Amino acid sequence: MNITVLGCGRWGSFMAWYLNKIGHNIILWGRESSEKFQELKLNRKNSFLELDEKIELTSDIKKALEFSEIILVSISSQALRSFLENIKNLDLKNKIFVLCMKGIEENTGKRLSEIMYEILGDLIKVAVWVGPGHVQDFVNNIPNCMVIDSDNNNLTEYLIENFSSDLIRFYYGRDLIGTEIGAAAKNVMGIAAGILDGINKECLKGALMSRGTREISRLIKVLGGHELSAYGLAHLGDYQATLFSEYSNNYKFGKLISNSNKQKFDNLAEGVMTSYALVKLGKENNIDMPICEAVCDIISGKITPEESISRLFSRTIKQEF
């Protein structure tokens, strides 16, 4: 199959590497001004992997979109809307877009698939590819399980049939709302985990995993998804890679801010913007989101990590379920 990958960062370059490895024809697009794109053009490798010579690199977005029916998107979630506005006048009819990123639009609280349909219309098809795993492990042949979901079961099955290998075992997603919200929200829990480790409160990570998943499951349900999706690969199943691994940007960001370290965090931590979006959704739907609210308040400097724990512990005692 001909497949286009938009975005040449850590995950975009991995998707190109992986799909080429299992036999597909790949074109990888990046902005000409991008340092990551220039690095790949110059050396055909980055700090994570080396690209096969068969993978074509281009900064021509029209060429990249015309190359294939299936288009993977791996860019910043908050930049998705502006990116789509720039390409919406191109011929995209019947294209399959697979979102390989996790986030919720900060200002609107919209899921990424909602933004896709809003701007490009219903002549396209949209799926998401999420779940646990780190590029650093995959390129060293360490396998993992992931999930592909869409609002079209036939599309989900088609993609899994063509993307599966002995390196990634895919599961069929059947709840696009739950999969998208869960995948985005696990990044917020990653920040929370980094904060706990940063203040030597690792003992609370078990409670974070349990109560964090429950918090997100309530939101998924009120938004129209299935609350059990929070316990699947997109959310709880991705906790090891996000709450415990030094490879996780969100975990590292949380650890950094917990130490009151003023050092700039140079990598993208999607959980920052997602935390604000989740709190917005919680308020709009009258759902209590204490952990997400605590993360927001710590990031914005309203409270310290220690104060947030005191606030959480002083809440009214509740039934666990």
> For residues 314 and 213, what is the distance between their CA atoms, to the nearest angstrom?
20
Helices (H) and strands (E) in the chain, counts: 14, 8
> For residues 188 and 278, what is the distance between their CA atoms, to the nearest angstrom?
9
> For residues 191 and 317, what is the distance between their CA atoms, to the nearest angstrom?
25
Which residue is catalytic, options 95, 110, 125, 186? Answer: 186
CA nearest 106: which of 304, 227, 274, 315? 274
**Residue type for position 192:** A
SS3 category, 291: helix
CB of 145 closer than 8 Å to CB of 161: no
186 tagged catalytic: yes
> For residues 99 and 127, what is the distance between their CA atoms, to the nearest angstrom?
6
| Sequence-separated (6 or more) residues with CB below 8 Å from residue 135 | 10, 11, 13, 14, 48, 49, 247
> How many whole angstroms from its chain centre is CA 302?
26
Residues with a catalytic annotation lie at 186
